[in-house]
């Protein structure tokens, strides 16, 4: 592919994501005229109207949006290919910055990172923990591990697995108060509610044929800590919710039991995210591959 064609494709991606010629030009460090010429050239080559122009914003046409998705992936693949060639003979060195959720990071990501660093002794790493998504451009993270949908369509995402959101109770609580068999039964039970989420007292469940329901629960104890939630449930203070991986030890020790499994919401995606670039560092690429291999197909 000629460099002129690549520049035109990069211009299209920038226009779609930035929403204007001026913003796209700033992003690419080109003139507005050059970006406009690239768009005109692409539309002439394809014989297709790619961008719809309004008084307030540039938006892709249906054909342009489909073309954009293909082009974005192709540019990413090309970037990876260039990186593999240029980095082939170089050792993995430098510092790898990773961002991950507060509890998931130490429990799941850290053991994988430790094994990766053992394989690459000249590499150093920093692990930043936060439950709030931070733009990699602001955090400086090479790789961001996140649970849930991709918060920024401009980022490159690689699936790592899925995360189940389960409802559970201690064996002693279920013996004393009975086992809920449907989500609405929770209204008659004491619950342990984590407060630092949206609508903490409203628990959502799946139903037949993709429908959902929301149940207003009664809190016996409220806490802003998932660890405290899990411990309170284990101690028999009520029914709680958690990611499956967070209570696996208690399940194996038979201190708690899963309930309402037939009504679980769909599992959330676990993904590695990074900024699109034409020269992804070898350390980043290898770590993402290593992480994906270690977590392949797992449900947490």
Instruction: Give the model confidence (pLDDT) of 103-136 as tens digits.
Output: 999 999 999 999 999 999 999 999 999 998 888 8
CA distance linking residue 54 with residue 263, whole number of Å: 45
Report the pLDDT averaged over residues 184-191.
Answer: 98
Q: Which residue has the higher pLDDT, 87 or 100?
A: 100
DSSP structural state of residue 190: E
CA angle 144, 16, 148 (to 5 degrees): 30
Going from the C-alpha of 234 to that of each of 116, 177, 247, 296, the distances in angstroms are: 34, 15, 9, 30
Q: Which residue has the tokens 């768009």?
A: 39
pLDDT, position 227: 96
**pLDDT, position 1:** 46
How confident is the prediction for the chain on average, in pLDDT? 90
pLDDT in tens, 232-279: 999 999 999 999 999 999 999 999 999 999 999 999 999 999 998 878
293 neighbors 106 (Cβ within 8 angstroms): no
Could you tell me what percentage of the chain is helix, strand and coil, using 3-state DSSP and rounding each to the nearest 5? 45, 25, 30
What distance in Å separates the CA atoms of residue 224 and residue 91, rounded to the nearest whole number?
44
CATH number of 94-162+268-299: 3.40.190.10
**Which regions of the chain carry the CATH code 1.10.10.10?**
3-87
Q: Which pLDDT tens digit goes with each residue over 131-160?
A: 988 888 888 999 999 999 887 888 999 999
Contact criterion met (CB below 8 Å) for 240 and 167: yes
DSSP run (H or E) holding 83: helix 62-87
Position 23 confidence tier, pLDDT thresholds 50, 70, 90: confident
Residue 88 has pLDDT above 60, yes or no: no
Residue position matching structure tokens 């995606």: 269
User: What integer pLDDT is reported at residue 85 of this predicted model?
Assistant: 63
The token pair that represents 11 in the structure block:
């211009």
Average pLDDT over residues 46-50: 89
Q: CATH 3.40.190.10 occupies which residues in the chain? A: 94-162+268-299, 165-263
CA–CA separation, 71 vs 9, rounded Å? Answer: 7
Is 241 within 8 Å of 230 (Cβ atoms)? no
Please check whether residue 300 is in contact with residue 165, taking contact to mean a CB–CB distance below 8 angstroms: no
Token reading at 241:
């919710």
The arithmetic mean of pLDDT across residues 31-40, rounded, is: 90
Indicate the angle between helix axes 32-46 and 3-18, nearest 10 degrees.
110
At 190 the pLDDT is 98
3-87 maps to CATH 1.10.10.10? yes
Can you give the pLDDT at residue 128? 95
| Domain 165-263 CATH (choose: 3.40.190.10, 3.40.1440.10, 3.40.1000.10, 3.40.50.300) | 3.40.190.10
The answer to whether residue 188 scores a pLDDT higher than 80 is: yes
pLDDT of residue 237: 97
């Amino acid at each position: 592919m000629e460099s002129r064609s690549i520049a035109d494709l990069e211009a299209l991606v920038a226009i779609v994501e930035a929403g204007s010629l001026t913003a796209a030009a700033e992003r690419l460090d080109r003139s507005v005229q050059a970006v406009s010429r690239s768009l005109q050239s692409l539309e002439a080559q394809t014989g297709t109207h790619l961008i719809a122009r309004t008084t307030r914003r540039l938006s892709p046409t249906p054909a342009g949006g489909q073309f954009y998705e293909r082009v974005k992936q192709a540019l990413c693949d090309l970037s990876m290919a260039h990186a593999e060639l240029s980095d082939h003979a170089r050792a993995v060195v430098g510092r790898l910055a990773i961002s991950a959720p507060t509890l998931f990071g130490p429990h799941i990501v850290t053991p994988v990172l430790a094994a990766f660093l053992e394989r690459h002794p000249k590499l150093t790493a920093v692990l930043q923990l936060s439950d709030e998504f931070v733009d990699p451009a602001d955090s400086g993270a090479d790789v961001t591990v996140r649970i849930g949908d991709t918060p920024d369509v401009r980022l490159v995402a690689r699936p790592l697995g899925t995360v189940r959101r389960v409802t559970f109770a201690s064996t002693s609580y279920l013996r004393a108060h009975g086992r809920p068999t449907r989500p609405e039964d929770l209204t008659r039970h004491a619950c342990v509610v984590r407060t630092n989420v949206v609508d903490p007292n409203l628990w959502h469940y799946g139903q037949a044929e993709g429908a959902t329901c929301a149940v207003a629960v009664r809190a016996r104890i409220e806490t802003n800590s998932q660890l405290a939630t899990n411990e309170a449930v284990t101690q028999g203070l009520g029914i709680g919710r958690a990611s499956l991986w967070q209570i696996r030890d208690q399940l194996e020790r038979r201190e708690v039991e899963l309930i309402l499994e037939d009504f679980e919401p769909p599992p959330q995606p676990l993904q590695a995210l990074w900024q699109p670039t034409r020269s992804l560092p070898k350390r980043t690429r290898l770590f993402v591959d290593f992480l994906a291999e270690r977590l392949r197909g797992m449900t947490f």
